[in-house]
Amino acid sequence: MTRRQSHSPAIIFLAGLALLLASASALAATRHYEVDYTAAFDPEAGQAVVTMAVRNGDGRATRFDLAMPGKRYHDIDGDGQIERDGDRVLWTLPRAGGELSWRYDIDRRRRDGGYDARITADWLIARGDHLFPSARAGMTAGSQSRTRLRLVLPEGWSNAESQWPAGEDGWFIVDNPETRFDRPTGWLIAGDVGTRREQYDNIEVVVAAPKGDNMPRQQILAMIGWTLPEMERIFGQVPPKLLIVGAGDPMWRGGLSGPRSLYMHSDRPLISENGTSTLLHELVHVFSRISGGPGHQYISEGIAEFYSIELLHRTGGTTQARYERTRAQLERWSRNVRRLTVDRSHGPVTARAVLLFMDLDKEIRQASDQAHSLDDVTRLLMAKRRVDTDDLREAAEQVLGRPSRTLDTPLLR
pLDDT in tens, 19-75: 444 444 444 457 999 999 999 999 999 999 999 999 999 999 999 999 999 999 999
* Beta bridge pairs of residue 174: 147
For residues 176 and 220, give the distance between their C-alpha atoms in angstroms, rounded to a whole number: 26
Q: Is pLDDT of 8 > 70?
A: no
Asked if residue 250 has a cis previous peptide bond (ω within 30° of 0), the answer is yes
Q: Is pLDDT of 17 > 70?
A: no
**Lowest-confidence range among 157-161, 175-179, 403-407?**
175-179
User: So where are the chain's domains?
Assistant: 32-268, 287-412
pLDDT in tens, 118-163: 999 999 999 999 999 999 999 999 999 999 999 999 999 999 999 9
For residues 29 and 139, give the distance between their C-alpha atoms in angstroms, rounded to a whole number: 12
* Beta bridge pairs of residue 30: none
Mean pLDDT of the chain: 92
List CB contacts of 76: < 8 A, sequence separation 6 or more. 68, 82, 84, 89, 100, 101, 102
For residues 310 and 367, give the distance between their C-alpha atoms in angstroms, rounded to a whole number: 20
List CB contacts of 91: < 8 A, sequence separation 6 or more. 63, 64, 65, 66, 78, 80, 81, 82, 100
* Burial of residue 9 (number of CB atoms within 10 Å: 0-12, 13-18, 19+): exposed
List CB contacts of 52: < 8 A, sequence separation 6 or more. 35, 36, 37, 64, 78, 99, 100, 101, 132
pTM: predicted TM-score of the whole model, two decimal places? 0.89
Q: Is pLDDT of 2 > 80?
A: no
C-alpha 332: how far from its chain's center? 32
CATH code given to domain 32-268: 2.60.40.3650
Determine the pLDDT at residue 29: 58
| Average pLDDT over every residue of 276-301 | 95
pLDDT in tens, 333-384: 999 999 999 988 889 999 999 999 999 999 999 999 999 999 999 999 999 9
Contact 275, 309 (CB under 8 A): yes
Q: Is pLDDT of 261 > 60?
A: yes
Q: Is pLDDT of 314 > 90?
A: yes
* Beta bridge pairs of residue 99: 53
| Main-chain phi, psi angles of 307, to 5 degrees | -75, -25
